[in-house]
Structure 1
Amino acid sequence: MASHSPHALTFQTFLHGVTPDHLQGFFEGWPHPPRPDTHLKILRGSQARALARLPGGQVVGFVTALSDGVLSAYLPLLEVLPEWRGQGVASRLVELVITALGDLYMIDSACDDELVPFYERLGMVRGNAMIRRKDSRQNGR
């Protein structure tokens, strides 16, 4: 794995200047991933989001949040491109989006078992999650 300097990144919670061309390489391992234009719609439709960008604009990591703005929020998507993993990018993204959400009672996320230690380092605790997936709609609607 090539190591990159996270100091080269800009972190932001807004979408000004982000185009589908900046959103390449995400949804790793998804059989039917959303296209970059759909990805941009996902970011726009989120109540909060945080992005990690290179100086040329390429996004190397993102997190989205859905919230009622009163009591609760959910973090459905967090992804960092493989060459940027292990450098604190995901932690910074989650911290930014939690700050953007404000002082809510609950901020939840569902994750695979191997990601539990990551979320625990950010102050979250293990809980149960129930999920429903419709694989035929994985690329969005």
Structure 2
Amino acid sequence: MIQYQDHIRDMTEASLAEGFFDGWPNPPSYSVFMQILKNATHVILAKDDQSGQVVGFITALSDRVLTAYIPLLEVVPAYQKRGIGKELTRRMLDKLQGIYMVDFVVRSGSPEFLRTAWHEKSAGHADSQLRTSVRQPGAAINLKKRGIS
């Protein structure tokens, strides 16, 4: 069974299932991945309660007043097609309820459920946008250079 949580307190590198950032030419390292999660305004994790491993996540960045942006939704390949991505999306949109404008960028080739879930749940937002992104620049990011540690 999958459990969902909105914090990363007990997350370690060992608790991550294999397969995050599948297909990315330059996937982020564990330390960069943790910085992404720590710096997100909202994060929701999907954990397999039998193995204790994190098998999916979604993040949102927001000013908590008017706008929000959902940059990342990942479910490891071994757990795809089980409704986890749809549930992560539903939970994040519930968390963002009341935000006037929400953007969600998806890569080309993303599952159709994203569009379906988006249109079902985004009705509560005055302005919502589902954008398709075809570029993924990689993870060669120097966080120190950007003032993030």
1:107 maps to 2:102:
yes
Runs of 4+ aligned residues of structure 1 deviating over 4 Å after TM superposition are 125-135
What stretches of structure 1 of length at least 5 have no aligned partner?
1-7
> Shift of the alpha carbon at 1:96?
1.3
1:20 maps to 2:21:
no
Question: Which structure has the highest helix share of the two?
Answer: 1
Could you tell me which residue of structure 2 aligns to residue 75 of structure 1? 70
Structure 1 stretch displaced more, 55-64 or 21-30: 21-30
Paired residues in the alignment total 132
Question: In structure 2, what is the Cα distance between the partners aligned to 1:112 and 1:121?
Answer: 15
Could you tell me which residue of structure 2 aligns to residue 42 of structure 1? 36
Query: Which aligned pairs between 1:6-17 and structure 2 lie closer than 5 A?
Result: 8-17=1-10
Identity %: 33
Could you tell me which residue of structure 1 aligns to residue 141 of structure 2? 140
Specify the code of the residue in structure 1 equivalent to 2:38.
R
Specify the code of the residue in structure 2 equivalent to 1:102.
Q
How large is the RMSD of aligned CA atoms in angstroms?
A: 2.4
Question: In structure 2, what is the Cα distance between the partners aligned to 1:68 and 1:119?
Answer: 23
SS of 1:21's equivalent?
helix
Could you tell me which residue of structure 2 aligns to residue 29 of structure 1? 23
What stretches of structure 2 of length at least 5 have no aligned partner?
120-127, 143-149
SS of 2:74's equivalent?
strand
Structure 1 stretch displaced more, 26-35 or 110-119: 110-119
